[in-house]
Structure 1
Amino acid sequence: MGKKTTHKFKAEVSQLLDILVHSLYTNKEIFLRELVSNASDALEKARFKATSDGTEDNVTPEIRVEADKDAGTVTITDTGVGMTRDELMKNIGTIAHSGTAELTRMAAEGKESLDSLIGRFGVGFYSVYMVAEEVTVTTRSMEEGSKAITWTSDGKTDYKLQELDEDLPRGTKIEVKLLEDEKPRFANNAALKTIINKHSNFINFPIYVGEEKVNTVTALWREPKFQIKDEQYAEFYKFLTYDSEDPFDTLHTSVDAPVQFNALMFIPKSDEDPFGMNRDNRGIDLYVRRVLIEKQNKDLLPEYLGFVKGVVDTEDLPLNISRETLQDNVLMRKISSTLVKQVLNHLDKMAKDNAERYDEFWHAHGNLFKAGYMDFFNKEKFANLVRFNSSESEDAKGLTSFADYISRAKEDQKEIYYAYGPSREALGLSPHLEVFRNKGIEVLYLYEPIDEFVMDAVRDYEGYTLTAAEHADMEKLDKFESLVEEEKPEALSDDQQSTLDKLITRIKDVLGDAVTEVKASQRLSNSPVCLSNPDGNVTSSMDKIMRVVSKDNSIPKKVLEINPDHVLVRNMLTIFEQDENDPFIDQAANQLFESALLLEGYLTDPHALVGRVQELLTKSSGWYVDTKK
């Protein structure tokens, strides 16, 4: 047995060890992730060396982890490349990248969690001293003629090296003598198995805890697509998400440029968060060389693609990159950009190849997807994929794209019209849409507040302007013939037109500041009145959204539009001609205004309206009885 020699740690290593030994950080389990990753690297190097040398490696590649409860130890053994004396001193006696002073400052300031700082400076092995009283590394290099070496340290000021005469198998064994407080947590195989399953489940080499192989699920994303069956994808999806259902769709991809990565993504059959109460439960698991770096990374895919589940594995990121650095990392942005394009292209292909299947996807995840109106970089792709119910749909479940709408648009029509309402039935009765129904012009139906933001963000599509129906230019609609034969009364004479102007003024006086203006309408046919926004820019529904945000409960002042051809208005005109002070005019003006408010969803106190309805019914019932005599 060779002489045991003692070597002092370099100053920066001592500083680092001091941080680790005195750390109160709770996630100390990452020491095992680091040691298993190092073992995996050693096995990878052994395989590469054998391949490069053209020799056959008869040693079975494996990693073994064992807890000894009585001794209070955890041992990690690999059959990898091993280390010579010089390599041992280089790899463990120094830090690969100087920076401990910065690490010390950042840890002291509490800017980042310790597991994020570990590894940024190439110090993954030292994380073991968060749990270790002493560590012994026994290793023998696969280099011919190499002797076994043992390295021992309590992680304070120095380490001891000794050459062994024993003919040990090649590879490395790390024996961790646990601190007293850490023994209950780590000195048992069940705990070690749980940690490995969490962080190192997809390491490419078998990992045994005791005699049980614990990494039993294959890193399916690394396998060639043509060799994988649907059942394997389904099994992996269920393992990943705990969903009892098979995935709705699978996207398996391998990218070499601009950054190299493999990704396996799934679209679930149903929305697991229909009410948007658990938006944090999203993200893609990020792996580096099969080692989990971050569970549910939120930066790889934007929130509107949050329904996508899966994993991304890259060779290009450092194994222990901090979360702060992840967010600023150029490679991460490139991976994210590529992933978004791939998901959108995949959905676009689905929509083109199988519209019914895409509709099924939309009913499950469309509400979340619509939040993509903020993704200006992919505005065109988003606009191609968004769907709405339409006046042309058979029922409320029917879906229409902007492209579908254009294919049915009238000749010379350059607008895509839309309207917001609480339901298909409500929109089917909306006074604002009467002219569209009469002329057979399609209107997209919006049911959710976010739909308004989608329209505002997209603005135009293939040369067609997205236009709210209530803001439609009536001159543009006049050129289209009516498909319904309307029974219109005779046109008003000049005298009647003059009387109508006076009636409109009277109605404005009756309503006072409740409306900004009263005017004759061009859009109405079946309804006597409707309300419109005075500025002509903000839609009624957007106005409501803005009022909710600003907590404004007041009733907005709008324009009251009157249909001069409606029977009720003509009767009011006749009454007004006979007696300008007839109380029925006041009564009818208030009733029509509050009925319009009720339709718009603004009437908070219906008592006056109900009282007038009952009074009018009482009077009209007398007339009705007389007609039956």
Structure 2
Amino acid sequence: MAETGQTQNHSFSTDAAKVLKLMIHSLYSNKEIFLRELVSNAADASDKLRFKALSDDSLFEGDGNLRVRVSADKENNTLTISDNGIGMTHDQVIEHLGTIAKSGTAEFFSQLSGDQAADSQLIGQFGVGFYSAFIVADKVTVRSRAAGVLASEGVEWVSAGEGEFTTSTIEKSNRGTDIILHLKEEETEFADDWRLKSIVTKYSDHISVSVEMLTPEVPAVEAVEEQKDADGNITQPAVEAKEAVPAKWEPVNKATALWTREKADVSDDEYKEFYKHVSHDFADPLLWEHNKVEGKTEYTSLLYIPTKAPFDMYNREKQHGLKLYVQRVFIMDDAEQFMPTYLRFVKGLLDSNDLPLNVSREILQDNKVTQAIRKGCTKRVLKMLERLGKKDAEQYQVFWNEFGQVLKEGPAEDFGNKEQIGKLLRFASTNEDSAIQNVSLDQYVERMKEGQEKIYYVVADSFEAAKNSPHLEVFRKKGIEVLLMSDRIDEWLISHLTEFDGKQLQSVTRGGLDLGQMDDEETKEAQEKLEQEFDSVVTRIKASLEGKVKEVKLSQRLTDSPACIVTDENDMSSQMMKLMQSVGQEVPESLPIFEINAEHELVKHIADEQDDDQFNQWTQVLFEQAMLAERGSLKDPASFVTRLNKLMLSLTK
């Protein structure tokens, strides 16, 4: 640590410098939010001190009245936000104010377009907190001292927001943090008490920490006797003597924890602002639910579904979860024990009466109360989403586009709620013309054809590959709907969601296709006749492909394509193999089943080929193009090209 008074120069991290530059310009149209962010951070600092003081009340240093103070100095055009919360050490100041400690930064920058209006939404989604001060200030000074350390270990941080900052060690008698904004010349409105009070009331009325502002001093008034003129008219009314009233700090917000109030007494705007406080998101939430649970386990939950996904949502290792309060005392951020990983996008808080004030993450892990609350909150969120899906398909589509792939992790993680999660899933389908995933399993079941017993689906690398898969040909011919899946997680999802509403989910790329009652007797008889006619051809093809295929047979699923490969019911699918390989897992070797379309002219040509070498060449090409269509690649593409060229040249002779 530097000696008292000694100044050290530092550079912002590259990411922090970029955000500063973009934010100052892109968020300018909504500049008053800086005060919301700074007050919210100050309130968090107070919450954290209250929690730490549970085990060491000396941290209060004789002052347990936690508050945030906002004061303006018109003469010097400055604004100060002070708290007496947990405070920061020298190292913490450098860590928290010099770096944006948030994963997904690179993706964030890749999505910036240069359009200030659009970028404003992205920056708000990314979250900027403290850095929003530079929207209205051309210099920011932070003075802080951590609770429980010596007054001589205070630290001062100063920056003009242009890539550099300085730190120095100072004497600071009181704990907590003071943020002094040296306002830009054109931002004098934020040195006006009435303007500041209106912003605090608008954005911070709901937080549980008192936000105080200084009322003006009222000077003393001397008594004056009533005076009259000669006609008896009063020329000077009597004035009662009044003592001077000194300036004093008074709260300007309700300072009542919003979640403790009755739902009927909380407006939608208050719920929205509280969401921004707990999530540090700039956008309004998509929906929320506020519940007080009484009975064997008592707790209050306030759960929000965001409108936009955070940039680091797909990082399963990132801390996620709800804010935890016990008897209205803040305990921890990101209490992941109360929400399963597949619902990691849910924001909000829990306040329990049944947990001890000194509860830790370790105690929460196997606590029966925790398990009961987790179960209740999980079902609450699933019900919220189910109601949204039934009530407002358009809004549900907004949710699904942002969080659908994360929700697909659910059946593997939460067996008990698998059917409920299944109702929330959406897919593309052969009934639709676009890649939009808007078909529910309930809708699919309602549209099933008479005699259809299974829910059919195909998984491919892309929507186009799924939509154009040769395996769909017989289903199109018979008008049977097939779900088209192309998300990376889909194969993993289906391996755990094997049935829905009592109906088995069946891949159209699996062997042994059985359309049950939808196959008429005439079709079955025609198939049996073809199998007899092509028995020798099938045997010949199998010999040609020995060691490459498990079986060769006539296809019931092809109408336009000459051939396809399918996976045996007991083998790993092509998509699952790719998924396992992508994460470095070894994949067991399995041979595909090769199906040929006896009605196709190319297959008939091969069947009539008497020259064994030519027959083998045609068979190999037919097999390799089927492998290419199904798996997207070949082990030896050069040989395939050579063989194909040779056959094309033979046709020109």
Fold match (TM-score > 0.5): yes
- Which of 611, 627, 632 is residue 597 of structure 1 equivalent to? 627
Alpha-carbon distance, 1:427 to partner: 1.8
How far did residue 401 of structure 1 move? 1.3
Measured in 2, the distance between the counterparts of 1:536 and 1:64 equals: 65
Instruction: Within 5 Å, give how 1:272-421 maps onto structure 2.
Output: 272-273=310-311, 276-277=314-315, 279-373=317-411, 374-421=413-460
For residues 466 and 49 of structure 2, what CA distance do their matches in structure 1 show? Answer: 61
Q: What's 1:5 paired with?
A: none
How has the CA–CA distance of structure 1 residues 65 and 266 changed in structure 2, closer, same or farther, with 3 Å as cutoff?
Answer: closer
Shift of 1:179: 7.9
Contact 2:563 2:597 in 1 (8 A): yes
Residues 263 and 313, structure 1, Cα contact 8 Å, conserved in 2: yes
2:261 and 2:520 mapped to 1: Cα distance? 61
Indicate which of 472, 477, 502 corresponds to 2:536.
502
Structure 1 residue aligned with 2:121? none
In structure 2, relative to structure 1, the CA distance for the partners of 1:613 and 1:214 (3 Å cut) is farther
The residue number in structure 2 matching 1:424 is 463
Query: Which of 243, 247, 250 in structure 1 is aligned with 2:288?
Result: 250
8 Å Cα contact 2:84-2:177 kept in structure 1 = no
Q: Give the alignment's TM-score, normalised by structure 1.
A: 0.64
1:191 lines up with 2:176 in the alignment: yes
Show structure 2 runs of 5+ residues with no match: 1-44, 58-63, 70-82, 86-145, 156-168, 180-205, 215-247
Alpha-carbon displacement from aligned partner over 1:474-511 (angstroms, at most 9, x marks no partner): 443463469xx9xx9997697xx2xx433333323332
Question: Aligned in 2, Cα 1:472/1:592: closer, same or farther, shift over 3 Å?
Answer: closer
Instruction: Give the superposition deviation at 1:463.
Output: 2.3
Paired letter, 1:328:
D
Closer/same/farther in 2, CA of residues 242 and 212 from structure 1, 3 Å limit:
farther
Quote the Cα distance in structure 1 between the aligned partners of 2:486 and 2:255.
Answer: 44
Change (3 A) 1:247 1:29: closer
- C-alpha change, 1:560 and 1:255, in structure 2 (3 Å) is same
Match of 1:542 in 2: 576
2:645 aligned to 609, 614, 618, which one?
614
**CA–CA separation in structure 1 for the residues paired with 2:318 and 2:500:** 33
Asked if 1:445 corresponds to 2:484, the answer is: yes
After TM superposition, give the deviation of residue 245 of structure 1 in Å: 1.3
Counterpart-to-counterpart distance in 2, 1:244 and 1:30: 23
Residue 498 of structure 2 is matched in structure 1 by: 459
- 5 Å-filtered alignment, 1:160-179, equals 178=150
Query: Would you say how many aligned residue pairs link Structure 1 and Structure 2?
Result: 457
Cα RMSD (Å): 4.1
CA change 1:382–1:75 in 2 (3 A) is: closer
Task: Give 2:185's aligned residue.
Answer: none
Q: Is the 8 A contact 1:508 1:515 kept in 2?
A: yes
8 Å contact 2:210–2:254 — kept in the other structure? no
Once the two structures are superposed, the pairs formed by residues 38-77 of structure 1 within 5 Å of their partners are none
**Conserved? CA contact 1:471–1:537, under 8 Å:** no
Matched residue SS, 1:387: coil
| 8 A contact 2:67–2:210 mirrored in 1 | no
Shift in alpha-carbon separation, 1:554–1:291, aligned structure 2, 3 A: closer
In 1, the alpha carbon distance for the partners of 2:483 and 2:407 equals 18
Q: 2:498·2:504 contact (CA, 8 Å) conserved in 1?
A: yes
Contact 1:591/1:609 (<8 A) preserved? yes
> 1:557 aligns to what?
591
Give the alignment of 1:226-245 within 5 angstroms: 226-245=264-283
- CA gap of 1:29–1:425, structure 2 versus 1, over 3 A, is closer
What is aligned with 1:7? none
User: In the TM superposition, what whole-angstrom CA distance separates every residue of 1:228-248 from its partner, at most 9, and x where no partner exists?
Assistant: 222222222222222221111
CA distance in 1: counterparts of 2:172 and 2:273, whole angstroms: 32
Pair 1:223 & 2:261 matched:
yes
Q: Which moved more, 1:536-545 or 1:351-360?
A: 536-545
In the alignment, what sits opposite 2:188?
Answer: none
Cα distance in structure 2, aligned partners of 1:192 and 1:539: 58
Mapped partners of 1:400, 1:507: distance in 2: 40
1:244/1:65 CA distance change after superposition, 3 Å: closer
Against the structure 1 CA distance between its residues 489 and 276, is the aligned structure 2 distance closer, same or farther, given a 3 Å change threshold?
A: closer
Structure 1 pair 513/550, CA: closer, same or farther in 2 (3 Å)?
Answer: farther
Once the 2 structures are TM-superposed, how far is the Cα of residue 407 of structure 1 from its aligned partner?
0.6
Counterpart-to-counterpart distance in 2, 1:253 and 1:227: 14
C-alpha contact 2:84 2:174 (8 A) present in aligned 1: no
Q: Please, what TM-score do these two structures have when normalized by structure 2?
A: 0.62
- Distance change (3 Å), C-alpha of 1:187 and 1:516: same
Q: Which structure would you say has the larger Rg?
A: 1
| Cα displacement string for residues 379-437 of structure 1 (whole angstroms, at most 9, x for unaligned residues) | 22112112211111231104111110111001121111111012232122212222111
- 1:303 to partner: Cα distance: 0.7
Q: Which amino acid aligns with 1:383?
A: G
Alignment identity in percent?
Answer: 34
Q: Distance in 1 between matches of 2:557 and 2:397?
A: 33
1:131 has 2:148 as partner? yes
Q: Superposition pairs for residues 491-530 of structure 1, below 5 Å?
A: 497=533, 500-530=534-564
Classify the secondary structure of the residue corresponding to 2:332.
strand
> Following the alignment from structure 1 to structure 2, what is the Cα–Cα distance between the partners of residues 238 and 603?
51
Question: AA paired with 1:352?
Answer: K
